[in-house]
Structure 1
Amino acid sequence: MNTKQRILIIGGVAGGASCAARTRRQSESAEIIIFDRGSFVSFANCGLPYYVGDVITDEKKLLVANTQLFKQRFNIEVRLENEVLEIDRDAREISVKDLNSGQVYRERYDALVLAPGASPVRPPLPGIDLPGIFALRTIPDSRRIRNWIVERQVKQAVIVGGGFIGLEMAENLVKRGIAVTLLEMLPQVMPPLDPEMVTPVHDRLTANGVKLRLGDGVTGFEQTSEGTLIVSTKSGEKHPADLVILGIGVRPETKLAKDAGLEIGDRGGIRVNEQMRTNDEHIWAVGDAVEVRDWITKEWMLMPLAGPANRQGRVAADAICGRDTTFRGVQGTTVCGVFGLIIATTGASEKTLKRVGMAYEKVYLHPGHHVGYYPGAKPINMKLLFSPQDGCILGAQAVGEEGVEKRMDVIAMALQNRATVFDLEEAELCYAPQFGAAKDPVNLAGMVAANVLRGDAPIIHWDKLAEDEALLLDVREIGEFEAGHVEGALNIPLTQLRDRVHELPKDQKIAVYCQVGQRAYYATRALRLQGFDAHNLTGGFKTYKAVQ
């Protein structure tokens, strides 16, 4: 870009800041100005729960950049506490209010980038604006919460919502010695995951003292004579609190775009094309305010994540500077840590695939994060979703204490490249005893799925077992069986199976299970080679307990 363009950017956090810096790297002549109504630019809002929890003790650590850095390093002007009021598309001007002086002025643009982000959802419930009820989105929000905790000597808190913010805040408040009640209107926390995958998350929250109330939405808030709060729910329960955190979700900031007549999608975000351009050829939009395409389902969706926002900022900058570029969509790769448990996902969930009517198959496995003979091996609960036609990876979820995010990152990259479960079989990954295994959990996931597609080890799912009318065969050892088993199961340990195979019928389907699936796989292969209609119950008894 050789001509001197005037590029104005509204919003200076992930998408906006990334767009500004990338634009400067493409053009030394462009005039670039960022406008933000807040007091900070380019701050790490993902770190705010940990600042509230005193894990991060220095607020300055949350500041990725400041106005001086933008000016000195990039020659980009940042105007904080300057709120953009209006976009005049015909004149190609914006109207801006300096929140300190009250002055309203206008600025001309050649290219305008909207990166206003999203705002926390505050439903119109009775008492929602009472003192002591907070959302967490900005550094000032975190300051107010920290001050409230100290000044009010908070002893008990209620968190509304079991998503990322809800879980992270639960952990951080508990670490500060505060009793926490977590309310979630859905029957599970972490809605992006399938229900059976969050069972260990529920258990971990409860084990750490969090009072978990699922399937119970909030109906209102009251203030007591002592100044504390009462949170009422649909079930009729009333939960006392010195502090309430709203973690219900966020809503795209689209007022400027709507008022300017820009197209808004069905999901409520700004509609953009693959170059992040709106229906106005001079206006782009990035970040939490826009709708994006789901990489798997191709649906329009909202995905308020920092990674996609930064990538969108780069794409918009390249497009403005005349480069051939596209944003291909999102696959929803996320990770969350709570009380030592790591929860990660990428691609579509089973819930989503059912909703859109896409054909899929699934397998469960529970491998160790490294070899069992090396001390400290921790199990990873994994679920892999794939196409039954060609084995193309559709999604994955995992929960465990170690190595979860590493495996999810590998599968996310495979999914991005439209790889199959057969590719996961062949993936060559790092191995030393303290890091993994010769057959990494990623390899094992591919092998289990590939065995299904090849017909080597057909599977049955626990939630479909009643429909099959199969003989249920438990191949664990007798002691394991006696410690807990599925009602009606026949116990023949794998170590005895070949000597007792005559006890099994050849004219009936046999559903085989063990603890996690490996021994059942061995048994299934042995039985099928002898002419039995054997199927492995994927994930074993461990998955059975999760789906109950």
Structure 2
Amino acid sequence: MPQKRIIIVGGVGGGATVAAQIRRTDQDSEIMMFEKCGYISFANCGMPYHIGGTVEKRDTLLYPVEKFAGKYNVQVNIRSEVTSINRFKKTITYKKKETIQEVHYDKLILSPGASPVVPQVEGIDNSRTFALRTIEDMDRIIEFINSSKPVSVTVAGAGFIGMEMLGNLQALGLDCTIVDRSSQLVGNLDKEVSEIIEGHLKEKGVNIILNDGLQAFGDDGRTLLLNSGEKIKADMTILAIGIKPNTELATGASLELGSTGAIAVNDYMQTSDPDIYALGDAVETKDFLTGSPRYIALAWPAHRQAYIIASHLNGGQTPYHANQGSAILKVFDLTVALTGHSSKTLAEEGIDFKETFLPSYSHAAYYPGSEKLWIKIFYSKESGLLYGANVVGFDGVDKRMAVLATAIKGKLTIADLPELELGYSPAYSSSKDPINSIGYKALSEWNKE
């Protein structure tokens, strides 16, 4: 039987993980990887923390190419950009240095990732404005900080990357301003929860400008003109406006895109061509509640999708289920977490819901170190079925979000929350955990109607 060749386009959480997963169950197929940058596997979520100095050693973010290639018996091609796919010949064309080459595949896996949104505004192509997506981007930011000694920075965009960059840049002593076109920070959160974050940033001395956006840059990026007419002076700018899926290869090969603009895939991560799979930040998946199309660029989905593809290539029939979009981030001293739907997305879907908000504490108030914790849940008006949750606080946020994410996955209702036995010690919780308490409160509010 001839050897099968599997080609993977792109590395990091999607491509590198699927290569490793395939090799665990398939020792015979030839696996070739192509990555246009110089690194096949790196911890992109750790980059803001290396910039800020929390993660001291750059090498800890990287998986050496030679080590990866040797461990998984993969032919790794870095600085090799795949430029086209010929589905009828089952070949890809790639460019390495100035050489154009073509190679045949039996199965093709696309993990091209996503790119930062860069607004087309006057003066943006300057030496002081940066996006952060790759190790090379990170290196450029660090080199600029070390060589130019900036005093002030503006972060454009109040999403996950923008918020994480704020704390790390201020840790370097920079005076920080954040600008966002929306009316709140972290648009995925409920407004009431976002206001807690806004208050925390103001306590930290961050200048917050909402309902405004970039119109132009002047003086080689030192001046930012906003849509309102306001001008900001900054020694550097970080663009964190958002990301867009890299779909050029897919569209060039006439693969189907979904309504979100990302690559459409079935339950086994196959594209409209059954010999071509796709995963990670480039694909469209389904919402756990409604089944409607969703675009979610997070690490967990990419790793799960890698397993689904490797299993399917090996004859397995494990489907990829819909996404909840569970996420967590650090904003200065606050931890911010969300899972499932918020009031905004439920309203957009036309779903009737109720919400309950609970200010609480991370553990027993009399035990040292007890910190403020806020939880907001969203649930069905009719059945009490949990739809989503926001959690924010200074301690214990991660475990409360994890419990609520699991409860949503398990299709629990607000009536189930008071019954959860979550373990009690004064150092870790209260005898009635905040998850129990918000369940009691939700039930009380629900029963009044």
Structure 1: how far apart are the matches of 2:51 and 2:32?
A: 32
Post-superposition shift, 1:297?
2.7
Post-superposition shift, 1:415?
0.7
Post-superposition shift, 1:193?
0.3
- Letter of the structure 2 residue corresponding to residue 214 of structure 1: L
Structure 2: how far apart are the matches of 1:308 and 1:80?
A: 24
| TM-score w.r.t. length of structure 2 | 0.98
Q: Secondary structure at the match of 1:57?
A: coil
1:258 aligns with 2:251: yes
Structure 2: how far apart are the matches of 1:430 and 1:44?
A: 33
- Letter of the structure 1 residue corresponding to residue 66 of structure 2: Q
Preserved contact between residue 369 and residue 402 of structure 1 (Cα < 8 Å): yes
| Structure 2 unmatched runs, 5+ | none
Preserved contact between residue 97 and residue 105 of structure 1 (Cα < 8 Å): yes
Q: Point out the structure with max Rg over C-alpha.
A: 1
2:289 corresponds in structure 1 to 296
> Once the two structures are aligned, what percentage of the paired residues are identical?
39
Pick aligned residue for 1:194 from 190, 196, 209: 190
Post-superposition shift, 1:429?
1.1
Pick aligned residue for 2:410 from 413, 417, 428: 417
Preserved contact between residue 22 and residue 310 of structure 2 (Cα < 8 Å): yes
Post-superposition shift, 1:413?
1.0
Runs of 4+ that moved beyond 3 A: none
2:146 corresponds in structure 1 to 150
1:51 corresponds in structure 2 to 50
Post-superposition shift, 1:132?
0.8
Post-superposition shift, 1:186?
0.5
- Letter of the structure 2 residue corresponding to residue 252 of structure 1: P
1:471 corresponds in structure 2 to none
2:173 corresponds in structure 1 to 177
Structure 2: how far apart are the matches of 1:339 and 1:278?
A: 40
1:137 aligns with 2:133: yes
1:389 aligns with 2:382: yes
Preserved contact between residue 70 and residue 77 of structure 1 (Cα < 8 Å): no
Preserved contact between residue 129 and residue 221 of structure 2 (Cα < 8 Å): no
Pick aligned residue for 2:277 from 280, 284, 291: 284
Bigger shift: residues 345-354 or 65-74: 65-74
Cα RMSD between the aligned structures? 1.3
- Letter of the structure 2 residue corresponding to residue 179 of structure 1: D
Q: Secondary structure at the match of 1:422?
A: coil
How does 1:347-362 map onto structure 2 within 5 Å? 347-362=340-355
Structure 2: how far apart are the matches of 1:155 and 1:71?
A: 42
What per-residue deviation string (whole Å, max 9, x for no partner) do you get for residues 125-169 of structure 1? 111111111000111111111111121110111110011111111
Q: Secondary structure at the match of 2:351?
A: coil
Bigger shift: residues 70-79 or 21-30: 70-79
Preserved contact between residue 254 and residue 270 of structure 1 (Cα < 8 Å): yes
What per-residue deviation string (whole Å, max 9, x for no partner) do you get for residues 491-547 of structure 1? xxxxxxxxxxxxxxxxxxxxxxxxxxxxxxxxxxxxxxxxxxxxxxxxxxxxxxxxx
Structure 1: how far apart are the matches of 2:398 and 2:56?
A: 25
Q: Secondary structure at the match of 1:159?
A: strand
Q: Secondary structure at the match of 1:317?
A: helix
1:249 corresponds in structure 2 to 242
Structure 2: how far apart are the matches of 1:290 and 1:146?
A: 31
Q: Secondary structure at the match of 1:284?
A: strand
Structure 2: how far apart are the matches of 1:71 and 1:381?
A: 46
Post-superposition shift, 1:10?
0.3
Post-superposition shift, 1:437?
1.6
Preserved contact between residue 344 and residue 397 of structure 1 (Cα < 8 Å): yes
Post-superposition shift, 1:257?
0.2
Structure 2: how far apart are the matches of 1:222 and 1:301?
A: 37
Preserved contact between residue 126 and residue 221 of structure 2 (Cα < 8 Å): no
Structure 2: how far apart are the matches of 1:314 and 1:42?
A: 17
1:16 corresponds in structure 2 to 15
1:533 corresponds in structure 2 to none
How does 1:527-538 map onto structure 2 within 5 Å? none
Structure 1: how far apart are the matches of 2:39 and 2:86?
A: 26
Q: Are the structure 2 counterparts of residues 24 and 228 from structure 1 closer, same or farther at C-alpha, using a change threshold of 3 Å? A: closer
2:162 corresponds in structure 1 to 166
- Letter of the structure 1 residue corresponding to residue 113 of structure 2: G
- Letter of the structure 2 residue corresponding to residue 69 of structure 1: K
Q: Secondary structure at the match of 1:421?
A: coil
1:268 aligns with 2:266: no
1:216 corresponds in structure 2 to 212
2:60 corresponds in structure 1 to 61
What per-residue deviation string (whole Å, max 9, x for no partner) do you get for residues 174-223 of structure 1? 11111111111111110100111111111111111111101111111111
Post-superposition shift, 1:70?
2.1
1:118 corresponds in structure 2 to 114
Structure 1: how far apart are the matches of 2:396 and 2:385?
A: 24
Structure 1: how far apart are the matches of 2:10 and 2:240?
A: 22
- Letter of the structure 2 residue corresponding to residue 400 of structure 1: G
Q: Are the structure 2 counterparts of residues 440 and 3 from structure 1 closer, same or farther at C-alpha, using a change threshold of 3 Å? A: farther
| TM-score w.r.t. length of structure 1 | 0.80
Greater relative contact order, per chain length (Cα 8 Å cut-off, separation 6+): 2
Preserved contact between residue 123 and residue 221 of structure 2 (Cα < 8 Å): no
Q: Secondary structure at the match of 1:366?
A: strand
Q: Secondary structure at the match of 1:21?
A: helix
Structure 2: how far apart are the matches of 1:192 and 1:297?
A: 17
1:83 aligns with 2:94: no
Post-superposition shift, 1:301?
1.5
Preserved contact between residue 116 and residue 133 of structure 2 (Cα < 8 Å): yes
1:401 aligns with 2:394: yes
Post-superposition shift, 1:3?
6.8
Post-superposition shift, 1:452?
3.3
1:127 corresponds in structure 2 to 123
2:201 corresponds in structure 1 to 205
Structure 2: how far apart are the matches of 1:69 and 1:346?
A: 36
Q: Secondary structure at the match of 1:291?
A: strand
2:72 corresponds in structure 1 to 74
Post-superposition shift, 1:451?
2.8
Post-superposition shift, 1:315?
0.8
Q: Secondary structure at the match of 1:14?
A: helix
Preserved contact between residue 3 and residue 30 of structure 1 (Cα < 8 Å): no
Preserved contact between residue 396 and residue 408 of structure 1 (Cα < 8 Å): yes
- Letter of the structure 2 residue corresponding to residue 230 of structure 1: T
Q: Secondary structure at the match of 1:384?
A: strand
Post-superposition shift, 1:31?
0.9
2:233 corresponds in structure 1 to 240
Pick aligned residue for 2:321 from 317, 322, 328: 328
